Amino acid sequence: MTLHCPRPATPADAADIARIYTQGIEDRSSTFETRPRTAADIQSWFDGTHPIIVVERNGQVTAFASTSLYRPRDCYAGIAEFSVYVDRAARGTGAGKAAMQALIAAAQDTGYWKLLSRVFPENTASRTLLVSLGFREVGTYEKHGRLEGIWKDVVIVEKLL
């Protein structure tokens, strides 16, 4: 069995990240986004400030975890939002956990003191993964956004690094 191999992402990974993210968008289970992403969309994520991790298995990118700006105010400079997505064919194999473990370490090494995100309440796979990695569920934003005309809540998760 080949292990999951996390590594820092590079701009050359943008097409694979876009492919995996677009699967998550199409599934309508983990994001309010509805527009498929392209490699060009992903290129802007590589700002030199926010770690991005990809996970490879047998030479194929199967998952990614990324950080992004939480808020522009200086007092929040040590907090990053995060996302984690896994290729449909690799879900349930540990690729998401490998991506998140590497992202947590990279974020800490970069100087972040907290990671946070919002997760759909029905996304039990992500919620279970995050709790297993020490994230705590802080609360719920009700009617946080609409997805295809339906109001959806989100569970707020955070981890102090």
d(CA 84, CA 142): 22
pLDDT of residue 3: 80
Residue 86: strand pairing partners: 63
pLDDT of residue 147: 96
pLDDT of residue 68: 97
Hunting for tokens 């802080």 — which residue is that? Answer: 138
Residue 64: strand pairing partners: 54, 85
pLDDT of residue 4: 85
pTM attached to this predicted model: 0.95
Which helix (H) or strand (E) segment holds residue 139: the answer is: strand 136-147
* Residue range 5-160 in CATH 3.40.630.30: yes
d(CA 27, CA 152): 15
pLDDT of residue 2: 58
Question: Taking the domains of the chain in order of start, what are their residue ranges?
Answer: 5-160
| Residue 73 per-residue DSSP state | S
Following CA atoms 96, 128, 158, 117 in sequence, which dihedral angle do they give, to the nearest 10 degrees?
Answer: 60
> Within 13 Å, how many C-alpha atoms sit on residue 129's CB side?
21
Distances (CA, A) of 126 to 5, 133, 137: 20, 11, 12
pLDDT of residue 95: 97
Decide if 145 contacts 152 (C-beta within 8 A). Answer: yes
User: Mean pLDDT of successive 10-residue segments in the chain (161 residues)?
Assistant: 85 98 96 96 96 96 98 96 97 96 98 98 97 98 96 98 97
